[in-house]
Amino acid sequence: NAHIDAIERLDGQLNSFITRTPDRAREGAKAADAALAKGEGGNLCGIPLGIKDLFCTNGVRTTAASKILGNFVPPYESTVTANLLKDGAVFLGKLNLDEFAMGSANLTSAFGPVENPWKRKDSDAKLVPGGSSGGSAAAVAAGLVLGATGTDTGGSIRQPAAFTGIAGIKPTYGRCSRFGTIAFASSLDQAGPMARNLQDCAILLESMAGFDPRDSTSVDTPVPNYEAALKRGVKGLRVGIPKEYHVDGMPAEIEALWQQGMTWLRDAGAEIVEVSLPHTKYGLPTYYIAALAEASSNLARYDGVRFGERVSAPSLDGLYEASRAAGFGEEVKRRILIGTHVLSSGYYDAYYLRAQKVRTLIQQDFLKAFENVDVLLTPTAPSGAFARDEKPTDPVQMYLNDVFTVPASMAGVPALSVPAGLDARGVPLGLQLIGKFFDEETLIAAGHAIE
């Protein structure tokens, strides 16, 4: 009830929820009480969570923050949310995001922008919460929910976590099932937890993760006890500092925070080692080819015929055109156009195929670095949260926000963001840890030494 009240009181301003489900939550809480009274109930019994509105939830409207889905109510539950429900979690509703998870500031939602609950010391400007899981980040940071699900294709868990002073984990690709999660770029999309600290993230991840035969890229490997990893410490751990992440124009305070992170880990017993990831500079350009190519294909299913927004027209082609023109927002259309272009005959080899090859080189960089170190430390984003009206007008400028998060996504390796301090204006900053395939535990141990 305290969380439901908090949502009613604060969310008119924050706009972190697209759909609120207080009645279902009250029912869930009653069931949790009954289970606890009988000495039963899972690990998350009665824990109030929010769900990014990209996960299909049985009987609850799911929008992907797009008009094209209309009032789509899924007749089935995503595997990740089903796992959380099985462990007793209670859902307070569906959280706002960038339309189809495309964005870094939560400004492209058809349901309006999300506001970051943080303010600068010296101004009242509305700050963005990051994106695309901006609703999840804002709801957790404001205490509306104890934890939330996010998805991360190129940084959408880590960057909003950093912008709102919370923790978030993008697990190894294949760790959490994609079944029932609305697709953006299928070879990159990965679900993960967002919460106030890594202990809460660890508990949530253990519930969300696991093999699922309904997702062909889900990996059949045991899910460890992530919470136990918090106690491991970092003595003797080798932490790599990728020299290519010292990008031009990085603000001095981000560089200083990074140095501070190295000092914290060294003081806790880790060894700091410089490493090289030579293909880092190709991360962003290849991501914005590969991801958009996949998106243009995934979004072809929204045609106004089977579900969602339909605008009638005298011909079938006309119906497709009118429905997609009315249903998709500007950023999604831009991406469909770019994605279709790079897949078209005559351009496929020059763009898509070449990007896929470079993607392999990026992955090999990480594998090589991990022969020498256990984990990598970098900033999560090149800046703290910016004001809504400072939003770059050039879309490419916005894409630069993802410079530190995209390479791990392209490689498929796990990464997390932990809150690490405030900038000079009093806004949170995060540090990123990147790990070996399926070694989220070392990330959690190292992150816990920082948080």
Structure tokens at 121: 């010391």
53 near ligand GLN (CB under 6 A): no
Q: Is 28 or 154 the residue whose CB approaches ligand GLN more closely?
A: 154
Which positions ≥6 away from 194 have C-beta within 8 Å?
A: 133, 136, 137, 140, 147, 148, 149, 150, 157, 160, 161, 166, 167, 168, 201
Q: Which is nearer to ligand GLN, 81 or 156 (CB)?
A: 156
Report 102-131 residues binding ligand GLN (CB under 6 A): 102-104
Asked if residue 101 binds ligand GLN (CB under 6 A), the reply is yes
Tally the C-alpha atoms within 13 A of residue 45's C-alpha that lie toward its C-beta: 14
Work out which of 173, 184, 258, 404 binds ligand GLN, going by CB under 6 A. Answer: 184
Peptide bond into 187 cis (omega under 30): no
CB of residue 345 vs ligand GLN: minimum separation in angstroms? 25
Give the span between the Cα atoms of 120 and 422, in whole angstroms.
Answer: 10
Print burial letters for 190-224: b (CB count within 10 Å at least 16), e (below 16): bbbbbbbbbbbbbbbbbbbbbebeebeebbeeebb
Say if CB 66 and CB 168 are below 8 A apart.
Answer: no
Binding-site size for ligand GLN (CB under 6 A) equals 13
Residue whose beta carbon is closest to ligand GLN: 156
**Cβ distance to ligand GLN smaller for residue 52 or 324:** 52
Q: Which helix (H) or strand (E) holds 422?
A: strand 415-422
Q: Which of residues 238-277 bind ligand GLN (CB under 6 A)?
A: none
- Identified catalytic residue from 78, 132, 133, 177: 132
Phi, psi of 8 (to 5 degrees): -60, -40
Q: Which stretch binds ligand GLN (CB under 6 A): 2-10, 99-107, 386-394, 429-437?
A: 99-107
Q: Is 310 exposed, middle or buried (0-12, 13-18, 19+ CB in 10 A)?
A: middle
Catalytic annotation on 344?
no
Site residues for ligand GLN, window 286-345 (CB under 6 A)? 291
What amino acid occupies position 190? Q
Element (H, E) at 285: helix 283-298
> How far apart, in whole angstroms, are the C-alpha atoms of residue 317 and residue 239?
55
Site string for ligand GLN, 142-181 (x = CB under 6 A): ----------xxxxx-------------------------
CB of 27 to ligand GLN, least distance (A): 32
Q: Which two tokens stand for residue 201?
A: 């993230």
Residue 190 lies near ligand GLN (rule: CB under 6 A)? no
By CB under 6 A, the residues from 11 to 30 that bind ligand GLN are none
Choose between 117 and 155: whose C-beta lies nearer to ligand GLN: 155
* In the complex, minimum distance from the CB of residue 110 to ligand GLN, in angstroms, rounded to a whole number: 16
Residue listed under structure tokens 């009118």:
322
Q: Is 66 a catalytic residue?
A: no
Is 156 designated active site?
yes
Q: Which of 78, 156, 323, 417 is catalytic?
A: 156
Site for ligand GLN, rule CB under 6 A: 101-104, 132, 152-156, 184, 291, 402
Known catalytic residues are 52, 132, 156
